Chains A and B, each alone.
Chain A
Amino acid sequence: MAAETGHGELTTSGYIEHHLQNLQVCKDEAGAWVWNHCAGNPMAINVDSMFWSILLGLTFSFLFWRVAKKSSTGKPTKWQAFVEIVVEIVDGSVKDTFHGKSRLIAPLALTVFVWVFLMNLMDLVPVDWIPFISAEYLGIPYMKVVPTTDVNVTFGMSIAVFFLIIFYTIKNKGVGGFVAELTLHPIAPSFKGPAIIAAPFIIAFNFILESVALLAKPLSLSLRLFGNMFAGELIFILIAILGVWQLPLHFGWAVFHVLIVTLQAFIFMMLTIVYLSLASESH
């Protein structure tokens, strides 16, 4: 409860709002870079989200790269064994679901899984620690440390997945296949006889339905992760308001949250694999 620095008196809603505020930077009308006056500006950047996201991505890359660089077939070190377990889990999930051949999907799944897991894991750092340190000692007024509670971050990842879905559909089925997938399902229009009159309407209907289905994939992917992590973070913040009673409650919720953190990372990875395997398999 110590994170308020020069933003009026300490109120409950002020505290929560402060914790949900990203550190932002953007250009104002005059073209100068300004901090934290960027509400509604589409060109703003959430510096804290980007910082933690890239830091954790680098952490993942570095830790796994170190193993990869020294990987040998001999007796593995403990850390190597752990990394290999993670790789095996991801590899197994990919092989179970995705039957095509792709050099991209397994590394993508691994990156997504570990990266999202690490970003989610930031939720277990007590909510005031990092914001307090950055406010008191670094002079940074806002610091949201869990990147996956930022809808931009989850959307950023799901949009990459979305473009990969389209890419794989076109790569495996051609542009015609992609168009056919959007227009000829779920009701197959007939092009023979008098029924041809109905065909354009059916195609239009199919197109609306399938477009929504296609767009729903990245939307649900990102909103599921964002929703879970945002809600979890919010509950941590609410628990932090309770004073001394926060200790047992925080512990209980943290234990439960470990499950959510892992599960959401795994779901994000699994759905990425499933969407891409659907895109590259003809049905």
Chain B
Amino acid sequence: MDINMTLIGQTIAMIVFVWFCMKFIWPPILNALEERQKQIEEGLAAADKSQEKLVEAQAQADEIVAEARQQATGILDQAHARANEIVADGKDAGVKERERQLAAAKAEIEQEANKAREELRGQVSAIAVASAEKILNREIDDKAHEDILGKLAQEI
């Protein structure tokens, strides 16, 4: 327990170790620590910011979706209306066409009938004249009864 040269030796050893620590240990570790602290701080800030951005983007997306939905509804309504319109138009056109064709058919039928009637009338009168001729040839004078036959043919 005497004081001796160990004291000086220990002092020198301490100076050397402290110098070593000051030179080679403390600065790199502390730098790394501070650097990492800064990085973590920045990371947290970035995370906060991105969270904010995410909320913002979410809102934006919601807005866009709502708008799109509205647009879609509009388009659908429009399409329905247009379809109804087309159907109605088609119906109208069909009715008109039918009427037109009907009218045309009717007119044609009428015409044909008239033509046939005319023909029939001519043929009947001819037959009547021929038969009357035959009869009259035998019995009566042509001239005497011509007016009566003419009236008859007219009436048919």
Q: Which A residues fall within an 8 A CB radius of B? A: 20, 22, 24, 26, 38-46, 49-50, 53-54, 57, 60-61, 64-65, 67-69, 71-73, 76, 83-84, 87-88, 91, 103-104, 106-108, 110-112, 115, 147, 150-153, 155-157, 159-160
Contacts and interface: CB of A to CB of B under 8 A. Distances in A.
29 contacts: A20-B1, A39-B2, A41-B2, A42-B2, A43-B4, A43-B5, A44-B5, A44-B6, A45-B4, A50-B9, A53-B13, A61-B17, A61-B21, A64-B21, A65-B25, A67-B29, A69-B28, A91-B33, A103-B22, A108-B22, A110-B26, A111-B21, A153-B6, A155-B3, A156-B7, A156-B8, A157-B11, A157-B14, A160-B11
Interface of B: 1-11, 13-18, 20-22, 24-33, 35-36, 39
Secondary structure dominating the interface of A: helix
B28 to A, nearest CB: 4
The dominant DSSP class at the B interface is helix
Nearest to B11: A156
A87 B29 contact: yes
Given A57-B17, A69-B28, A42 B3 contact: yes
B6 A73 contact: no
Nearest to A163: B11
A22 B4 CA distance: 12
Given A68-B28, A155-B10, 7 more contacts: A43-B5, A45-B5, A45-B9, A72-B32, A151-B1, A156-B10, A159-B11
Contacts of B8: 156
A68 B24 contact: yes
A42 B14 contact: no
Contact of A153 (B10, B16, B18, B20): B10
B35 A73 contact: yes
B6 A152 contact: yes
A61 to B, nearest CB: 5
A61 B1 contact: no
